[in-house]
Amino acid sequence: MTESSNKVWFVGAGPGDPELMTVRGQKLISQADAILFAGSLVSEAAMRWAKPGCEIQDSKGMDLDAINGWLIERARQFPTVVRLQTGDPGLYGALIEMVQALDKESIEIGVVPGVSSAMASAAAGVESLTLPEITQTVILTRMQGRTPMPEGESLAELAQHHCTLCLFLSITLLKKVQSELYAAGWNEDAPVLVVYKASWPGEEKIIRGTLADIREKCRAEKINAQAMIIISPTLGARHWSELKKSKLYDKTFSHRFRKAVTIDEVLP
Ligand code: SAH
């Protein structure tokens, strides 16, 4: 990447472990003249790649205006400014509020995607969020907090699909999660996975339970922040004795890169 004018990069830091940042994100950190990172959720270890003299600032305690002001000021001075965001910058990251402020000042911007905590949590639990003939759909959502949910997006409505649900920002609202899922027809014994600090070296906790007992289990583990809730009919599939196989690897299924063999070739 060669850039002629000053630019602010929104870089996805990934879920916590710096090794889960993209190569491009790491390169930008090493080139940056100034880095503003979301302190509560981004590991400071990611700053190990910063060059000497790089200005590094934690945005914890800054409001949006202060963040925008900081980025604008630095972009006027430096060729490469990085705003390091947790997970992927396009999920619950106020990306557009910052981009609009920079657009107003005609400052160039770029976005580098990151590994979302939803993906890191599934990986931590060795889970697949989709399974053939079980569910082929994933909903990334949250419980209503201070940010109101748009019409038609209450958890009770979304959960009616009985597909995989990844809930951000909702770990303190497990009671409400339970009641909304019951309202959508989920059973008490529906499996739930909660991952606290997915991928953070030495800090990650994996809690498995059911809709009925997950709240109690999380309370016992004192988990009340930085946790992903995954509710899915695919959970635990690793231990199922019968599994519908994905068509992708089915010997009788052709796709662009492989021609199917005939059924005679498959069956001896
Ligand atoms: N952009 C981020 C989400 C930011 S919102 C992403 O793509 O992951 C913050 C919420 O993300 C937290 O409340 C929590 O639900 C989730 N989260 C962030 N980091 C996490 C981690 N390491 N483990 C589990 N959940 C995490």
Q: What is 71-109 written as a DSSP string?
A: HHHHHHH-SEEEEEESB-TTSSS-HHHHHHHHHHTT-EE
Atom of ligand 1 nearest to the CA of 229: 15
pTM: 0.91
For the 117-239 domain, the top CATH level (class) is alpha beta
Residue 93 beta carbon below 6 angstroms from any ligand 1 atom: yes
Q: Note the pLDDT of residue 252.
A: 64
Q: How far is the CA of 248 from the centre of ligand 1 (A)?
A: 31
Query: Of the given ranges (6-10, 16-20, 67-71, 78-82), which has the lowest mean pLDDT?
Result: 16-20
CATH T-level topology, domain 7-112: Cobalt-precorrin-4 Transmethylase; domain 1 (3.40.1010)
Q: Whole-number mean pLDDT of the chain?
A: 92
Residue 91 beta carbon below 6 angstroms from any ligand 1 atom: yes
Residue 197 beta carbon below 6 angstroms from any ligand 1 atom: yes
Query: How confident is the model over 108-126, as a mean pLDDT?
Result: 98
Predicted confidence (pLDDT) per residue in 143-165, tens digit = 998 889 999 999 999 999 999 99
Query: Of the given ranges (41-50, 111-120, 148-157, 212-221), which has the lowest mean pLDDT?
Result: 41-50
Domain boundaries, the chain: 7-112, 117-239
Predicted confidence (pLDDT) per residue in 181-199, tens digit = 999 999 999 999 999 999 9
Query: Of the given ranges (42-46, 50-54, 183-187, 206-210), which has the lowest mean pLDDT?
Result: 42-46
Residue 168 beta carbon below 6 angstroms from any ligand 1 atom: yes
Q: How far is the CA of 190 from the centre of ligand 1 (A)?
A: 23
Plot region of 45 (φ>0 → left; ψ -120 to 50 → alpha; else → beta): alpha
